[in-house]
Structure 1
Amino acid sequence: MDRDNPLGLSPTDRATAKAAYDDAVVIDCSNVGIVDPWLDRPIQEQFFDKMIQGGVTVSNVTVPHSSSGAVNAVKELRAHRTWIATAADKAILCLTVDDIRRAKREGRAGIIFGPQGTDLIEDVVEMVGFVHSLGVRIMQLTYNTRNYIGDGCLEPGNAGLSLFGRDVIRAMNEYGIVVDLSHCGDRTTAEAIEASANPSIFSHANARAVYDHPRNRTDDQIRAIAEKGGVICLTPYSTFVRERTGSAAPLDALAAHLDHVVNLVGVEHVGLATDINENNETRRIWHRHEHPDLVGDARHHNYPVGFDGDLRKYGVFSELLVKLGYTSDQIGAILGGNLVRVFETAWGKR
């Protein structure tokens, strides 16, 4: 395989893919950033540099990442706001759709705060407005286990949405925080989609009909989220693409999920998300560079060859979409246009 052209596209098709990519607002709808006090500033800024070099307009970053309650969450939100403010030449905190467009226009890294769970609000619904004021614009209702709101996808009881959870969703709709259901249990997912007046999203998940994994979503769930205007963001993270076979799933394996969902609900309800933990992937990329003999070893490869968990190579997804026969307009929608539509509904058109 040619690592620089993993899909074997012709020069004409590669040029078509690049043109569509360059025109698009590109949104990676799930990404774990790299903000740690012990890191040197250049390493912290590497995340922004990778986004800019890779043409990724916006990342939905797991902020806060901590699951230890409101106080630590506020500290983390403050640290990330400082991280962005002190690199204003490279980054912008996206609080509005205009901020997303500005990030594209100015070639800066747009950051959305999108925690994977609701530990940051504890059991206080009024905290929804407070975390919105600190920059949260997407919030996952549960992680894998049970919380005050409902059940995660690994809870065997599969309980539904709590009364508190319904109050939280109403508050999220009121303030303009997108409801994210990526890790929710099946019953909580169904009830949350119904309860939300605004479109919901799966920020990073694949189709369970293609690969039966508890983190993937059923056809009924995908249809339900699409019927209310939402989006499922498919991920190349191998664990959710196919069963492990000794190496990472190739790019073509992701295509099976993409075509299944498009055939099910249409192009307008599909997005993309890498689910990269940047701290871990930075180490893996360095390790593979220093030890090329390990390339392809399942222990060191969570992403397909050609992307390799490196945001600088995000454009390969545009090449995959060209190979699959999608038009430039459809590619732009999948890369980020569909999510912009959801954000306009939830946040307002500004």
Structure 2
Amino acid sequence: MITNNPYGVKAKKSYTGYKSYQYLEEGADYKDFGLAKEVARVEPYIYPVSAEQEEKVQQILEDEYIVSLHEHTFVTPENIDSIFEFRRQGRDWTGYEGLSISGLDIVFENYMDGTAFITSNAGWKWNDVLHDLGMRYSDFAHQDMVIRAERIEDLYRAKKEGKIAFVTSLESATQIENEIDRVDVLYGFGVRVMGIAYSEANALGSGLREKNDSGLTVFGHKVVERMNKLGMTIDVSHCGDQTARDVIQASEKPIFITHVGARGLWDISRLKPDDVLKSCAEKGGVIGIEAAPHTTLTQKHKEHSIESVMEHFEYVVELCGIDHVAFGLDTLFGDHVGLHHAFAGALSIKSSHAGPEFEEVEYVEGLENPSEAYHNVVRWLVKHDYSQEAIRKVMGRNVLRVLEETWMK
């Protein structure tokens, strides 16, 4: 258990010190890869606020629902060069220690299904995705801090019990191929949020790397309709622009853009143009601002940090309104920049980040991992005089509203 929190917030979750797969024998049941530190891997950063402001920050973290629309809470190997072998063994470790001091109450956990390379180097294979989910669920079943959230009441119960609710999310529907009933199967496996496409086009529509985006296919329309009926919320973060527009129009319910920024501030395909952001908001949806390395940069802040991320936040608030913005910072435990370098080809990261020149950083200062990120966002909001009602909305209530409208009651 953590007794000294270097990020300035007391551990408040019911964490007993559990480590992933501690019920198995290292070396006999699985290979030891040597994992990165979950806490203080790099110099901890506490966004500077006054003592009075810090007291308000602590009260907000205590009283309000703190929600991440998009995270990967696994722990990378310390030696990032071993990541492909690590992924092929089909077993990920969850950063329970780091999560216990994150301040998060609800996490939209996206696992690592796009890099489930058990049977293929291309990812997104049906059997591999189910393996990935089942392996993580097996680990969850041996601890009691993280709970799987499949209904609205699970989200509210978690905070009351000092736990963290995980919403199972997938960044793409590629793995369903042309089998629409697989959407139902995934729902049965607990998936409650799913993207339409990742980088490459699939049977539903185009991903953001495609040069020719022909929009949502006939099959894609059927999947959107099925997701609406099931109570599975739709995400278009990695969709091409036209596919995203089509999904927003086709869906009878609000959707998420769970982790994104504004192309109006930084001209790369990974970010969304103003019209897509506005359309999402006009249909009642919510946009999560992300902080994966070298995404939400700006001309004013070409070195990625909390300041550039929050410039995107304020831009989207001005464009779409405070009721339609949240945070899906897209962090993890380990060397995120090194991970991007390793996966540059497999995940089309290089092509989706192509654009203006920028200063590469080793990590995003202030938002390096889930342990420090959300504390610092709240500190930034308090320091910049956002009202408690506004903070309540963007830190959780906006997301909960969409779930109330899209999930089964």
TM score, norm. by length of structure 1: 0.86
Query: CA 1:220/1:236 → structure 2, altered by over 3 Å: closer, same or farther?
Result: same
Q: Per-residue deviation at 1:244?
A: 9.8
2:350 corresponding residue in structure 1: none
Q: In the alignment, which of 113, 136, 160 is matched to residue 105 of structure 1?
A: 160
- One-letter code of the match for 2:93? Q
Specify which of 228, 232, 235 is matched with residue 290 of structure 2. Answer: 235
What is the RMSD computed on CA atoms of the aligned residues? Answer: 2.7
User: Residue 247 and residue 190 in structure 1: after superposition, are their counterparts in 2 closer, same or farther (change >3 A)?
Assistant: closer
Distance 1:282 1:108 in 2: 30
For the structure 1 residues 279 and 173, does the alpha-carbon distance in structure 2 shift closer, same or farther, using more than 3 Å as the test? farther
Q: 1:273 aligns with which of 309, 321, 328?
A: 328
CA distance in 2, matches of 1:215, 1:223: 17
Residue 315 of structure 1 and its aligned partner are, at CA, apart by 0.7
Offset of 1:127 from its aligned partner?
0.7
Q: Determine the structure 2 residue equivalent to 1:334.
A: 394
| Alignment partner, residue 184 of structure 1 | 239
Q: What does residue range 214-253 of structure 1 map to in structure 2 within 5 Å?
A: 214-242=269-297, 248-253=303-308
Match of 1:261 among 316, 336, 355: 316
Residue 260 of structure 1 and its aligned partner are, at CA, apart by: 1.1
Residue matched to 1:93: 148
1:64/1:77 contact within 8 Å kept: no
Partner in structure 2 of residue 288 of structure 1: none
Match for 2:103: what amino acid?
A: G
The answer (yes or no) to whether the contact 1:64–1:113 under 8 Å persists in 2 is: no
Say whether 1:21 aligns with 2:56.
no
Match of 2:376 in 1: 316
Offset at 1:299? Answer: 5.4
Alpha-carbon separation, structure 2, partners of 1:101 and 1:216: 31
CA distance in 1, matches of 2:283, 2:155: 23
2:134 equivalent to 1:78:
yes
CA 1:182–1:282: 2 relative to 1, 3 Å: closer
Alpha-carbon distance between aligned partners in 2 of 1:347 and 1:84, rounded to the nearest angstrom: 23
Deviations 1:255-294 (CA, angstroms, capped at 9, x unpaired) = 221111111121110010121243545999xxxxxxxxxx
In the alignment, is the contact (CA less than 8 A) between 2:293 and 2:336 conserved in 1?
A: no
- Give unmatched runs, 5+ long, in structure 1: 285-296
Is 1:202 the counterpart of 2:264 in the alignment? Answer: no
How far did residue 64 of structure 1 move? 5.9
1:308 is displaced (CA, Å) by 2.2
Cα distance in structure 1, aligned partners of 2:205 and 2:219: 9
Aligned with 1:61 (options 109, 113, 122): 109
2 CA distance for matches of 1:278 and 1:164? Answer: 37
- What do residues 42-61 of structure 1 show as CA deviations (whole Å, max 9, x unaligned)? x935x123222111112212
Residue identity in the other structure for 1:9: V
Q: In the comparison of the two structures, how many residue pairs are matched? A: 330
Shift of 1:248: 4.4
The answer to whether the Cα contact below 8 Å between 2:262 and 2:272 also exists between their aligned partners in 1 is yes
The amino acid across from 2:135 in the alignment is A
SS in 2 for 1:190: helix
Shift in Å, 1:68: 3.8
CA displacement at 1:73 relative to structure 2? 1.7
| Corresponding residue of 2:119 | none
SS in structure 2 of the partner of residue 28 of structure 1 = strand
CA distance in 2, matches of 1:237, 1:154: 17
Q: Which moved more, 1:275-284 or 1:313-322?
A: 275-284
Counterpart-to-counterpart distance in 2, 1:336 and 1:54: 14
* Contact 1:281–1:310 (CA under 8 A) maintained in structure 2: no
Q: State the distance in 2 between where 1:12 and 1:31 align.
A: 30
Runs of 4+ in 1 over 3 A off after TM superposition: 3-7, 35-39, 243-248, 277-284
Q: Once structures 1 and 2 are overlaid, which stretch shifts more, 177-186 or 98-107? A: 98-107
Paired with 1:153 and 1:218, the residues of 2 have a C-alpha distance of: 12
Kindly provide the amino acid, as one letter, of the partner of residue 127 in structure 1: R
Q: For 1:347 and 1:228, locate their aligned partners in 2 and report how far apart those are by CA, in whole Å.
A: 16
Give how far 1:234 is off.
0.3
Cα distance, 1:33 vs. partner?
Answer: 3.4
Partner of 1:212: 267
**Cα pair distance change 1:209/1:298, threshold 3 Å:** closer
SS at match of 2:294: helix
1:120 CA displacement: 2.5
- The equivalent of 1:300 in structure 2 is 362
2:392 is aligned with 1:343: no
Task: Write the letter of the residue equivalent to 1:199.
Answer: P
Partners of 1:17 and 1:191 lie apart in 2 by 39
Give the structure with the larger helix fraction: 1
1:311 offset after TM fit, Å? 2.1
Decide which moves more: 109-118 or 128-137: 109-118
Structure 1 residues 5, 343: closer, same or farther in 2, change over 3 A? same
- Aligned-pair distance for 1:237? 2.5
* Secondary structure of the corresponding residue to residue 192 of structure 1: helix
1:144 to 181, 187, 199: 199
